[in-house]
Amino acid sequence: MQVTRVTPNIGAEVSGIDLAAPLDDTMVLEIRKMFIEHKVLVFRGQQLTRDQHKAFGQCFGDLHIHPSHRQGMNKGDDPEIFAIDTPPDAKQSNGEAWHSDITCEEIPPMASMLYVTKVPENGGGDTMFANMCLAWEELSDDLKIFLDGKYAFHDGMIDLRNYGISLKPGQSYPQASHPVVTKHPESGKPVLFVNRSFTSHIEGIPPWESRMMLNGLYDFVMGNARLQCRVSWTENTLVMWDNRSVQHQAIRDYVGYARYGERVSILDKLRPVAYKLAR
């Protein structure tokens, strides 16, 4: 395998590997090391069946079933596959706001793998990724002290409302409380763990303070190019990202053109744990 950084702080393109072939333990361990270091891995020119896509995901853990599948809201034929299907006349697409995937779960997915097989003919549809470990590092010491030990409420209904979706009788959607600053379970680094699509409020402070703080953090992530990399998709590209330490945003600049991909996500084993500042 050959590895080429996308930026100094996040992202790497990996060549010289066929993800359709069975991977031995040594190769899986090497990919995992690169994954922890770079947080976003790009594998181009892959020819994968759905089963091969899932098999690659299962090298790193059990597959996550999206709550829309669990509640019967998504009629896809495979509950472990989340389709990103944007036809030319779509009014919106998945993931247009900066977010981490399904942080409203008690145990959010540890990673996602999106395999795109159709890219827009106008060349659009890139995805932005942001390093949330570096986001935490760049905050002032005073702000770090303020956020230390605080929890935020994550509500899946925020995301559903963004798409104009309401629940039917008998349906429910996840909600969870997570530390604002988590400890990455493998690198041990602190992670700023709030995002616009799912975080409702910071608990234990007045609502106006929570709104002010969260909106400031969101604007900081959105406008800080040092945290970010941009991945341009080509047909049959798979991108794997660390959902515990990365946010992403799908750029909707291809109205009138189609885009299609399928995502599998990998279950984590433990819920997010708070990072404790040394005092």
DSSP line for the chain: -EEEESSSSS-EEEES--TTS---HHHHHHHHHHHHHHSEEEE-S----HHHHHHHHHTSSPBP--HHHHTT----S-TT-EEEEE-TT-S--TT-S-B-TTTTSSS--SEEEEEEEE--TTS---EEEEEHHHHHHTS-HHHHHHHTT-EEEEEHHHHHHHTT--PPTT----EEEEESEEEPTTT--EEE---TTTEEEETTS-HHHHHHHHHHHHHHHHH-GGGEEEE---TTEEEEEETTTEEEEE----TTS-EEEEEEEE--SS---B-----
User: Residue 236: pLDDT band by 50, 70, 90 thresholds?
Assistant: very high
Q: Which residues of 208-223 are buried (b: 16+ CB within 10 A; e: fewer)?
A: eebeebbeebbebbbe
pLDDT digits (tens, 9 = 90+) for 167-189: 888 888 899 999 999 999 999 99
The chain-wide mean pLDDT, for the chain, equals 95
CATH class of 2-266: alpha beta
Other CB atoms within 10 Å distance of the CB of residue 166: 8
Percent of the chain with pLDDT over 70: 99
For residue 141, pLDDT beyond 80 = yes
Q: What is the pTM of this model?
A: 0.95
pLDDT digits (tens, 9 = 90+) for 55-112: 999 999 999 999 888 887 776 789 999 999 999 998 888 888 999 999 999 999 999 9
In the three-class reduction of DSSP (H, G, I as helix; E, B as strand; rest coil), residue 57 is classed as helix
Structure tokens at 259: 């885009």
For residue 216, pLDDT beyond 90 = yes
pLDDT digits (tens, 9 = 90+) for 104-114: 999 999 999 99
Contact 162, 97 (CB under 8 A): yes
Tell me, what's the pLDDT at 154? 98
Percent of the chain with pLDDT over 90: 87
Tell me, what's the pLDDT at 220? 98
